[in-house]
Structure 1
Amino acid sequence: MSRSKHWTSILDPGTQRLLSRVPSSTHDEIQTAVHAAETAQDAWAARGFQSRREYLLDWIDVLREMTPDIVACLCREVGKTLADANTEVFRGLDCIHAACSIGTEMAGMYLGSDPTILQTFYEPVGVCVTIAPFSYPFMIPLWSLPYALITGNTVILKPSEKAPSLSTLLADAVIRTGFPPGIFNILHGDRTTVRTLVPNPSVQAISFVGSETAAREVHDLARTAGKRIQAECGGKNHGVVLDDASMMPTLYAIAGSAFGATGQRCMALSVAIFVGGTREWIPKLVDLAQSMVVGMGGDEDTKLGPLINRAAKERVVGVIDRAVDEGAMVLLDGRDVSVPRYPEGNFVGPTILMGVETYMECYQMEIFGPVLICMQVDTLDEAIDLINQNRYGNGCSIFTTSGKQAKTFQRRVNVGQIGINIPLIAPYGPAVRTSNKDSFLGDRHAPGKTYWPFFTTVKTVSARWDQ
């Protein structure tokens, strides 16, 4: 039990019923966790790659057995739908599999044909920290933790104080798998915990996913302390619709991406750019969005669950209010959505805005809610220019049946992740996230098979043995 004097209440986002209380870790607790990780690291690294991989593969089996508990936790604490929760579990386990698939890459290089033998070795950096958001409390920690562990590091997870319970399930799985003590550690709290943890001299590398404001603070803190840092942050993802696109599959894709997970994901498609005559499709998009069921995440028919907390609802509603004040037109208004039996829930229904200018707050910021902005241009060139002028580079998509137009789009947009006839959500485990511009800060993108060197240092040894 934590000795903290500062505890936060975690409420069910649909009912406001108390679910749990989470502490803000004390200074002594932070030091204890770091010391445990540091003490355990040498022995963990000495086990060798094959042994560490066996632990991770066993961890997958345990987590798979725990899937019903994980899904229930995601629905209860985050408000996810059953479909979203099950998909998150699948993608999280996929990340561990991807980490386990690295092998020959870590063997280094050997050049022995010359009298001088040259070898390179990859060694773990030490204690690694993962700071995760509430939006994907199972999957996102697994973007980094498995790579840190399989390369011989020990880890400290700082989950979001808004959704802390999933980290307990991860830790329970670690214990059931039989990992040695000190390999996997958890610290709870808000930015106060982060400000103490990141500069700790024993911490060597930090992986962060979250809001742009928090990302910049963590990045600057880590850089000042001389740490390795990678930070995935805000996004404003655009989808371009061309005249030759297949109408209904395109509209279903846009609605699913914009409003799925209640818009609480960095890869949500939040701006739809309708080119030429496709602006006539907007009323059908409104009808489609209006048909999406808002309700409790655990209900089979629900397509949109509640937002994470009351503050998130107030923030999203406030953005919509100010968009109207600035002159935007509301085609579909989800601010006053009513969910029977759950009058206290943090619900906001699908909301579609039109008449938005690029200087407006609703376009400039990541809303992180079920709000889609519809914009209209005459040509693909105008759409590309609109995307390139936006400061975020998380992802963008194009919907077309023309390979030529798709090639033009993927070549000319200055965004790191591109979808063609799909609303880009998240790559699979082996693929690297390649967001750019203001959507990424740091040394190396995550996750993916080429991510592991972030957690290692390289030694080059030249040796000559005269007979």
Structure 2
Amino acid sequence: MTTSIDAPDRDGALTPIPHWIGGAPVTGAAERTGDVFDPARGRVTRQVVLADASDVEAAVASAKAAFPQWRDMSLARRQAIMFRFRELLDARKGELAEIITSEHGKVLSDALGEITRGQEVVEFATGLAHHLKGEYSEQVSTDVDVYSLRQPLGVVGIISPFNFPAMVSMWFFPIAIAAGNTVVLKPSEKDPSAAVWIGELLKEAGLPDGVFTVLQGDKVAVDGLLEHPDVRAISFVGSTPIAQYIYETAARHGKRVQALGGAKNHMLVLPDADLDLVADSAVNAGFGSAGERCMAISVVVAVEPIADELVAKVRERIAGLRIGDGRRSCDMGPLVTRQHRDKVASYIDIAIADGAEVVVDGRDVVADGDPNGFWLGPTLIDRVSTASRVYTEEIFGPVLAVVRVASYEDGVALINSGAFGNGTAIFTNDGGAARRFQREVEVGMIGINVPIPVPVATFSFGGWRQSLFGDAKAHGSEGVKFYTQQKAVTARWLDPSHGGVDLGFPQN
């Protein structure tokens, strides 16, 4: 597969990463560009075009023009294209993982993992015919049948975050496309190349031009999609303040919206839990992808008297982690930008000022990589006050806080009192306690001895409270309903013996 994301100009400068409109790379006016960094090297390696109003119009117009033909294509042919895309993606996911690592910084194994989880939704979409089936009731009244059917919306917009440039977009577009919609994807300007690569692969799989569009850009592109009258629905994943803005703005312009916001995920550890399993899980869930994921465990809630032993075990495991360039044999890579790295590091100072104990300080890390990289090592902070910003705010980095409580009841009350309700986990060997937890905790996704409870594609992803704006979650049955609208048809085929004019409702 040829790619348009890396080709150098003759003078040695990199060609700007383009939009993908009408089945081809397009730079548009390209009057504005943004820097794209290699986080492990700490330097600009690419630039991306940033859309203006004319680019937004071109992207939406292309998607709108492609919709009628795509909507009318048989579902069997649509599914066949998605299946072909799945096969191509499976064969070439190593290429995509390298692109993700070069722009996001996560280690290659983590990049491959996100592609695999996104591929689950592609596989779900290949069987969408089953999920689009309507219902049929015969003889609901004399000679009257009623049936329902689901139809696509039209042009839909997807605004995806930097932390999972492949997986999050794949939570949405396979279902939207298989259901007969056309898609305009606005990826993060921090790591935009993966989206163009996906567009090229979809074209190779046989997707008609215009069905999948990539609109590069910043707030201009986002607002353009939120306000455009031809965009029928918006899907978004990002921080809570932006999710709320997305939801309110798009809804004000008459669109369907699913806006997945931020999180502060807790792991409740009961005294009977296997502390070695807990320590492994806390490190995996707290520091994978450098903590830059909405499902990261950022707070361990330890029910005494096990906190001292658990903190010691977590510290021991952190000492064995190798931090460095994701293209090397490392466990954790850098953060995505220097600005974000410095913001995350600032919470360590906040913790000290608030009287917490910094057990492991990630600012001291010696990374296996370029010294200019955006490095911050795993950080463990014990005895965190629930009044501290370290506890109340989403840090979105490799900072793991430990809060000590006296009982199971105190732990659940703490989780339920938070602003977010995205994900949580309990670690215990007590089945009764686990069952009680899943009933009592007020959170959308729950793990029982599972630290990152991201549901498989056949179920739906999304939280409660300030972690989700709008009614629909991502993928699964809720994703199908979000990207389709239902019609109910009442039909009566008259025979020659019908009784003539009757202005009343049928009675029997």
Q: TM-score, normalised by structure 2?
A: 0.90
Q: Give the unaligned 5+ runs of structure 2.
A: 1-26, 496-508
Matched, 1:402 2:409: no
C-alpha displacement of 1:338: 2.1
The residue aligned with 1:218 is 246
Q: Which amino acid aligns with 1:295?
A: G
3-state secondary structure, aligned to 1:173 = helix
3-state secondary structure, aligned to 1:66 = helix
What are the superposed Cα offsets for residues 219-255 of structure 1, whole Å, 9 maximum, x if unpaired?
1111110100001110000001111111211110111
Aligned length: 466
State whether residues 354 and 385 of structure 2, in contact with CA within 8 Å, keep that contact through their aligned partners in structure 1.
no
C-alpha displacement of 1:341: 4.5
Q: Which amino acid aligns with 2:50?
A: S
Range that drifts further, 10-19 or 39-48: 10-19
Cα 1:339–1:104 shift into 2, 3 Å: closer
Output aligned runs, 1:111-126, within 5 Å.
111-113=137-139, 114-126=142-154
Instruction: Name which of 345, 358, 361 aligns with 1:333.
Output: 361
State whether residues 112 and 118 of structure 1, in contact with CA within 8 Å, keep that contact through their aligned partners in structure 2.
yes
Which has more radius of gyration?
A: 2
Output aligned runs, 1:38-77, within 5 Å.
38-77=64-103
State whether residues 98 and 449 of structure 1, in contact with CA within 8 Å, keep that contact through their aligned partners in structure 2.
no
3-state secondary structure, aligned to 1:167 = helix
What are the superposed Cα offsets for residues 118-161 of structure 1, whole Å, 9 maximum, x if unpaired?
12121111001110001110111010101111111000000001
3-state secondary structure, aligned to 1:112 = strand
The residue aligned with 2:318 is 289
Output aligned runs, 1:395-434, within 5 Å.
395-434=423-462
**In 2: Cα distance, 1:251 partner to 1:306 partner:** 22
**In 2: Cα distance, 1:400 partner to 1:110 partner:** 46
Matched, 1:154 2:165: no
Q: Which amino acid aligns with 1:20?
A: R
Instruction: Name which of 362, 375, 383 aligns with 2:403.
Output: 375
**In 2: Cα distance, 1:313 partner to 1:21 partner:** 21
State whether residues 70 and 181 of structure 2, in contact with CA within 8 Å, keep that contact through their aligned partners in structure 1.
yes
The residue aligned with 1:36 is 62
The residue aligned with 1:298 is 327
What are the superposed Cα offsets for residues 174-218 of structure 1, whole Å, 9 maximum, x if unpaired?
121121111010101112211112110000011000111211111
Matched, 1:362 2:390: yes
Cα 1:153–1:456 shift into 2, 3 Å: same
C-alpha displacement of 1:464: 1.4
State whether residues 147 and 455 of structure 1, in contact with CA within 8 Å, keep that contact through their aligned partners in structure 2.
yes
State whether residues 228 and 443 of structure 1, in contact with CA within 8 Å, keep that contact through their aligned partners in structure 2.
no
The residue aligned with 2:503 is none
The residue aligned with 2:105 is 79
The residue aligned with 1:11 is 37
C-alpha displacement of 1:42: 0.9
What are the superposed Cα offsets for residues 233-279 of structure 1, whole Å, 9 maximum, x if unpaired?
10000001111111211110111100111000000000001112211
State whether residues 290 and 350 of structure 1, in contact with CA within 8 Å, keep that contact through their aligned partners in structure 2.
no
The residue aligned with 1:97 is 123
C-alpha displacement of 1:103: 2.1
Q: Which amino acid aligns with 1:194?
A: V
What are the superposed Cα offsets for residues 368-388 of structure 1, whole Å, 9 maximum, x if unpaired?
000000011111011011101
**In 1: Cα distance, 2:266 partner to 2:444 partner:** 12
Range that drifts further, 113-122 or 69-78: 113-122
Matched, 1:390 2:418: yes
The residue aligned with 1:452 is 480
The residue aligned with 1:170 is 198
C-alpha displacement of 1:336: 2.9
3-state secondary structure, aligned to 1:451 = helix
**In 2: Cα distance, 1:37 partner to 1:350 partner:** 43
**In 1: Cα distance, 2:452 partner to 2:98 partner:** 26
Range that drifts further, 267-276 or 72-81: 72-81
C-alpha displacement of 1:77: 1.1
C-alpha displacement of 1:404: 0.8
State whether residues 79 and 128 of structure 2, in contact with CA within 8 Å, keep that contact through their aligned partners in structure 1.
no
C-alpha displacement of 1:318: 1.2
**In 2: Cα distance, 1:284 partner to 1:415 partner:** 27
Give the CA RMSD over aligned residues. Answer: 1.2
C-alpha displacement of 1:102: 2.7
Q: Give the unaligned 5+ runs of structure 1.
A: none
Instruction: Name which of 160, 184, 187 aligns with 1:132.
Output: 160
C-alpha displacement of 1:340: 4.5
Range that drifts further, 367-376 or 455-464: 455-464
Output aligned runs, 1:18-29, within 5 Å.
18-29=44-55
Range that drifts further, 337-346 or 252-261: 337-346
State whether residues 132 and 210 of structure 1, in contact with CA within 8 Å, keep that contact through their aligned partners in structure 2.
yes
**In 2: Cα distance, 1:19 partner to 1:175 partner:** 26
3-state secondary structure, aligned to 1:11 = strand
Range that drifts further, 433-442 or 108-117: 108-117
3-state secondary structure, aligned to 1:122 = strand
Identity level (%): 34
**In 2: Cα distance, 1:338 partner to 1:104 partner:** 52
**In 2: Cα distance, 1:112 partner to 1:419 partner:** 43
C-alpha displacement of 1:326: 2.2
Output aligned runs, 1:216-365, within 5 Å.
216-281=244-309, 282-300=311-329, 302-365=330-393
What are the superposed Cα offsets for residues 22-64 of structure 1, whole Å, 9 maximum, x if unpaired?
1111211110110111111011010121111111001111112
- Structure 1 moving runs of 4+ over 3 Å: none
The residue aligned with 2:24 is none
What are the superposed Cα offsets for residues 371-423 of structure 1, whole Å, 9 maximum, x if unpaired?
00001111101101110111110011111111011111111111111101110
What are the superposed Cα offsets for residues 50-88 of structure 1, whole Å, 9 maximum, x if unpaired?
111111001111112221211111221111112211111
**In 1: Cα distance, 2:212 partner to 2:145 partner:** 37
C-alpha displacement of 1:425: 4.5
State whether residues 109 and 120 of structure 1, in contact with CA within 8 Å, keep that contact through their aligned partners in structure 2.
yes
State whether residues 52 and 220 of structure 2, in contact with CA within 8 Å, keep that contact through their aligned partners in structure 1.
no
